[in-house]
């Protein structure tokens, strides 16, 4: 039962380096004192401090020291391993030392930046340094495993982000599968009329990309489909996809839409989700003229044949291509892909959650998406601004930040609703000539040519009132408010409460995560914030990566984002996926676990613990075996092996016990 202290003489020669990180560390930790202290610790052959360890001279110093002083271990006290562990491993390798004879000490994020007393921060740095120097003695030489990468890519979400990523990957010659939950790709952008700040028509810039997707030989488009299950690991994902039945054969239908005319329902009766319920549609329908694929589908909730089986199916009769199939079933497909780009987009804030604005109570109150459909030439009113009661509004109020920047609903700024409110103000003024009032808290126009667009609106005579609207009411306090919707607002610039009577109110609702964000992110094993936006690996250095290698994110699923930034991110995500695939292999971290065969008694305690079924039981040898490729390196089995016969590389018992001992002296 001996202590595991190695004898004094045969200690490996350790090089210890502490970084100033400019003043980030040096301002709160006495780096010289730590350097001096470490030089006295057993096994330490070299102890230096330097202003920027991660800089080229810093790394070069390490490599040179390793060669000159024949160092056998390396410890660097600087920032978080999540940031520069790789950098210093490479520096060690350049010096001829196995990169895993290295241990990093986090004294910036975990000490210098979070403590205010220099003495105790330095004390902490010394403890952590001592622990790392004690630990690194037990490090073993390891090397990263190489695993081939499947060249195919999966893009989830057919909005502008998914479309752009898929096209970029396909143009690079990769086989891409683009999956979209709705019956057509295009996402929210397809609903818009114009886009800011250039007022390009959304359809004009989106439709070519959608048809490019449809036509591209490298892209397999699976619409009306969802990802059911994801298995495997970076470079080798097996994805199960569920295709909902359209009751129409996709390869036969050419979108001539004659079946719609022939449907037993003479007029369109059912609320049309694409037009935010403003327009109507029949049980057989197509979302919008440029829908891609241009294929109709049947709504099982409202189609008589699907519900009762007793319809004369005039739609099928009218279809000379015999594309209808009333007993089409849900289809399950399996895909093998090396990388996955998630571009699942956002959900608009439900205006009913702010009852003070009267959405759903006053017919004159609309959401911004509804207005996008009204001003749209292919919308339910062919672009005419008309109220539900048929009248044309003379005054329109647009309320910014509905649901956003509000402790009761969503705390975050939705980044786009100022700009699209300006755009809608312009379109409404242009289409209806009405007086337009924009109620804003702060006018946020940060993008290229955004501020200029705001200036343009000021020039067009739109009224801008700075204040958060308290309520929308149909109570007329004075005769001129009769029959109007009155917006009560404290005009913070004028300094008094105003009541603005209007005929139509537009609620610029903010962006929030999709309703099923939590299930989706669990399915893809990535993180997300409590509100549901997917978590990027690093907000600045890795915005489109996630903590799970091989899975990338782009667009509004990660945070509220406008179209220019979304497309930029889609390109970045495609580039990251290409980098992974073109490398042809991926290096797996070597911190996997393995069973020491002669020590294993065959008690099978470990076998059920592995969620990746990397542990199997060899019935012949009566021993547990770990498949190193499937093992993700969590270490649960190493902790659980009752006879200590499973080791986890880089996190062996000796290493952690020595770290504990190092910390507590």
Q: Which of residues 532-591 bind another protein (CB under 8 A)?
A: 535, 547-548, 591
Q: Which of residues 263-322 bind another protein (CB under 8 A)?
A: none
Should residue 80 be labelled a site residue for another protein when binding is judged by CB under 8 A?
A: yes
Query: In terms of DSSP bridges, do strands 331-337 and 339-342 run parallel, antiparallel, or are they unpaired?
Result: unpaired
Should residue 611 be labelled a site residue for another protein when binding is judged by CB under 8 A?
A: yes
* 3 state SS of 168: helix
Structure tokens at 190: 């397809």
Contacts of 400 (CB under 8 A, 6+ apart): 417, 418, 421, 438, 439, 440, 441, 508
Closest separation between CB of residue 645 and another protein, Å?
Answer: 7
Number of residues located near another protein, criterion CB under 8 A: 80
Q: Which residues pair with 397 in a beta bridge?
A: 437, 505
Closest separation between CB of residue 586 and another protein, Å?
Answer: 17
Closest separation between CB of residue 517 and another protein, Å?
Answer: 13
Should residue 490 be labelled a site residue for another protein when binding is judged by CB under 8 A?
A: no
Is the C-alpha dihedral spanning 567, 573, 574, 579 positive or negative? positive
Contacts of 286 (CB under 8 A, 6+ apart): 183, 184, 255, 257, 260, 294, 295, 296, 297
Closest separation between CB of residue 98 and another protein, Å?
Answer: 20
Should residue 110 be labelled a site residue for another protein when binding is judged by CB under 8 A?
A: yes
Question: Judged by CB under 8 A, which of 617, 625, 628, 630 binds another protein?
Answer: 617
Minimum CB distance to another protein smaller for 336 or for 356:
356
* 3 state SS of 501: strand
Should residue 474 be labelled a site residue for another protein when binding is judged by CB under 8 A?
A: yes
Closest separation between CB of residue 18 and another protein, Å?
Answer: 16
Q: Which of residues 444-473 bind another protein (CB under 8 A)?
A: 471, 473
Closest separation between CB of residue 178 and another protein, Å?
Answer: 27
Q: Which stretch binds another protein (CB under 8 A): 240-248, 367-375, 525-533, 576-584?
A: 525-533
| Inter-residue contact 360 to 399 (CB < 8 Å) | no
Alpha-carbon separation of residue 174 from 169, 170, 217, 574 (angstroms): 6, 5, 10, 10
Contacts of 438 (CB under 8 A, 6+ apart): 398, 400, 421, 422, 425, 457, 462, 463, 464, 465
Closest separation between CB of residue 480 and another protein, Å?
Answer: 16
Should residue 56 be labelled a site residue for another protein when binding is judged by CB under 8 A?
A: no
Rounded to 5 degrees, what angle do the CA atoms 578, 580, 584 make? 105
| Inter-residue contact 445 to 417 (CB < 8 Å) | no
Should residue 407 be labelled a site residue for another protein when binding is judged by CB under 8 A?
A: no
Tell me how far apart the alpha carbons of residues 231 and 394 are, in angstroms, rounded to a whole number.
Answer: 57
Structure tokens at 529: 């914030």
Question: Judged by CB under 8 A, which of 217, 475, 479, 620 binds another protein?
Answer: 475
Q: Which of residues 113-172 bind another protein (CB under 8 A)?
A: 113-117, 120-121, 123-124, 127-128, 131
Should residue 640 be labelled a site residue for another protein when binding is judged by CB under 8 A?
A: yes
Question: Which DSSP symbol is given to 223?
Answer: -
Should residue 414 be labelled a site residue for another protein when binding is judged by CB under 8 A?
A: no
Closest separation between CB of residue 27 and another protein, Å?
Answer: 12
- Provide φ and ψ at 538, rounded to 5°: -150, 130
Minimum CB distance to another protein smaller for 76 or for 111:
111
Closest separation between CB of residue 521 and another protein, Å?
Answer: 9
Q: Which stretch binds another protein (CB under 8 A): 211-219, 295-303, 498-506, 638-646?
A: 638-646
Minimum CB distance to another protein smaller for 254 or for 640:
640
- Provide φ and ψ at 281, rounded to 5°: -145, 170
Closest separation between CB of residue 2 and another protein, Å?
Answer: 5
Minimum CB distance to another protein smaller for 343 or for 637:
637
Sketch the per residue contact string, 314 through 353, with another protein: x for CB under 8 A, - otherwise.
----------------------------------------
Should residue 492 be labelled a site residue for another protein when binding is judged by CB under 8 A?
A: no
CA dihedral 468, 473, 474, 477 (to 10 degrees): -80
DSSP secondary structure, 335-357, as one string = EEESEEEE----EE--GGGSGGG
- Provide φ and ψ at 380, rounded to 5°: -60, -25
Question: Judged by CB under 8 A, which of 599, 621, 627, 629 binds another protein?
Answer: 599
Should residue 497 be labelled a site residue for another protein when binding is judged by CB under 8 A?
A: no
Tell me how far apart the alpha carbons of residues 570 and 176 are, in angstroms, rounded to a whole number.
Answer: 14
Helix or strand (DSSP H, E) at 485: strand 485-491
Closest separation between CB of residue 430 and another protein, Å?
Answer: 32
Minimum CB distance to another protein smaller for 73 or for 164:
73
Closest separation between CB of residue 479 and another protein, Å?
Answer: 12
Q: Which stretch binds another protein (CB under 8 A): 111-119, 270-278, 320-328, 341-349?
A: 111-119
| Inter-residue contact 150 to 337 (CB < 8 Å) | yes
Tell me how far apart the alpha carbons of residues 47 and 57 are, in angstroms, rounded to a whole number.
Answer: 16
Should residue 509 be labelled a site residue for another protein when binding is judged by CB under 8 A?
A: no
Q: Which stretch binds another protein (CB under 8 A): 56-64, 214-222, 239-247, 597-605?
A: 597-605
Question: Judged by CB under 8 A, which of 23, 601, 621, 629 binds another protein?
Answer: 601
Closest separation between CB of residue 597 and another protein, Å?
Answer: 11
Closest separation between CB of residue 357 and another protein, Å?
Answer: 9
Should residue 659 be labelled a site residue for another protein when binding is judged by CB under 8 A?
A: yes
Closest separation between CB of residue 83 and another protein, Å?
Answer: 8
Question: Judged by CB under 8 A, which of 214, 361, 388, 621 binds another protein?
Answer: 361
Minimum CB distance to another protein smaller for 119 or for 312:
119
Nearest to 125 by CA among 18, 53, 42, 41: 18
* 3 state SS of 476: coil
Count of positions (residues) in the chain: 665
Nearest to 379 by CA among 206, 170, 515, 203: 203
Q: Which residues pair with 396 in a beta bridge?
A: 436, 504
Sketch the per residue contact string, 90 through 109, with another protein: x for CB under 8 A, - otherwise.
----------------x-xx
| Inter-residue contact 75 to 15 (CB < 8 Å) | yes
Q: Centre a 10 Å sphere on the Cβ of residue 561 and count the other Cβ atoms it contains.
A: 22
């Amino acid at each position: 039962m001996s202590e595991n202290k190695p004898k004094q003489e045969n200690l490996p020669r350790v090089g210890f380096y502490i970084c100033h990180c400019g003043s980030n560390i040096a301002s709160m930790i006495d780096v010289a004192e730590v350097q001096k202290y470490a030089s006295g610790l057993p096994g330490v052959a070299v102890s230096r401090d330097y202003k920027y360890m991660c800089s080229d001279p810093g790394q070069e110093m390490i490599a040179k020291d390793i060669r000159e002083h024949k160092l056998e271990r390396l410890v660097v006290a600087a920032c978080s391993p999540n940031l520069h562990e790789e950098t210093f491993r490479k520096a060690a390798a350049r010096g001829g030392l196995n990169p895993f004879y290295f241990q990093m000490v986090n004294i910036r994020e975990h000490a210098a930046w979070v403590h205010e007393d220099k003495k105790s921060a330095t004390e902490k740095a010394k403890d952590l340094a001592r622990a790392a120097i004690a630990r690194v003695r037990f490090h073993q030489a390891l090397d990263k495993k190489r695993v081939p990468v499947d060249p195919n890519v999966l893009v989830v979400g057919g909005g502008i982000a998914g479309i752009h990523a898929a096209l970029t990957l396909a143009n690079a010659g990769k086989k891409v599968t683009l999956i979209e939950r709705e019956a057509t790709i295009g996402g929210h952008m397809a609903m818009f009329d114009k886009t800011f700040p250039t007022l390009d028509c959304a359809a004009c810039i989106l439709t070519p990309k959608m048809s490019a997707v449809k036509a591209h030989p490298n892209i397999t488009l699976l619409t009306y489909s969802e990802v059911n299950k994801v298995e495997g690991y970076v470079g080798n994902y097996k994805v199960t996809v569920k295709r909902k039945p359209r009751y129409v054969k996709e390869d036969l239908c050419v979108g001539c839409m004659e079946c719609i005319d022939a449907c037993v329902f003479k007029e369109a009766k059912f609320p049309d989700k694409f037009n935010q319920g403003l327009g109507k549609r029949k049980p057989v329908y197509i979302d919008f003229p440029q829908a891609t694929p241009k294929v109709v589908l049947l709504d099982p909730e409202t189609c008589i044949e699907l519900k009762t089986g007793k319809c004369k199916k005039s739609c099928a009769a009218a279809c000379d291509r015999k594309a209808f199939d009333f007993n089409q079933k849900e289809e399950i497909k399996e895909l093998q892909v090396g990388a996955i780009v998630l571009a699942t987009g956002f959900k608009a804030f439900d205006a009913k959650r702010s009852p003070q604005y009267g959405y759903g109570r006053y017919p004159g109150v609309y959401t911004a998406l509804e207005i996008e459909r009204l001003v749209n030439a292919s919308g339910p009113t062919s672009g005419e601004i008309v109220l539900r009661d048929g009248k044309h509004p003379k005054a329109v109020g647009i309320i910014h930040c509905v649901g956003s920047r509000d402790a009761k609903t969503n705390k975050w700024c939705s980044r786009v609703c100022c700009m699209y409110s300006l755009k809608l103000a312009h379109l409404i003024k242009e289409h209806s000539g009405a007086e337009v009032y924009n109620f804003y808290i702060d006018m946020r126009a940060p993008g290229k040519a955004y501020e200029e667009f705001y200036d343009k609106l000021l020039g067009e005579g739109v009224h801008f009132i700075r204040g958060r609207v308290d309520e929308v009411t149909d109570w007329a306090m004075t005769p001129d408010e009769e029959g109007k919707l009155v917006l009560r607002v404290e005009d913070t610039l004028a300094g008094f409460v105003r009541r603005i009577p209007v005929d139509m109110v537009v609620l610029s609702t903010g962006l929030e995560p999709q309703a099923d964000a939590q299930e989706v992110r669990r399915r893809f094993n990535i993180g997300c914030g409590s509100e549901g936006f997917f978590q990027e690996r690093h907000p600045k250095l890795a915005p489109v990566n996630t903590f799970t290698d091989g899975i990338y994110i782009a667009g509004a699923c990660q945070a509220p984002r406008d179209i220019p930034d979304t497309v930029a991110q889609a390109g970045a995500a495609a580039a990251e996926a290409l980098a992974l695939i073109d490398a042809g292999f991926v290096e797996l971290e070597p911190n996997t676990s393995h069973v020491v065969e002669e020590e294993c008694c065959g008690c099978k305690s470990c076998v059920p613990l592995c969620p990746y079924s990397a542990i199997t039981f060899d019935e012949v040898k009566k021993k547990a075996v770990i498949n190193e490729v499937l093992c993700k390196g969590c270490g649960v089995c190493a902790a659980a092996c009752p006879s200590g016969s499973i080791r986890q590389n880089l996190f062996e018992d000796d290493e952690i016990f020595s770290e504990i001992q190092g910390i507590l002296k």
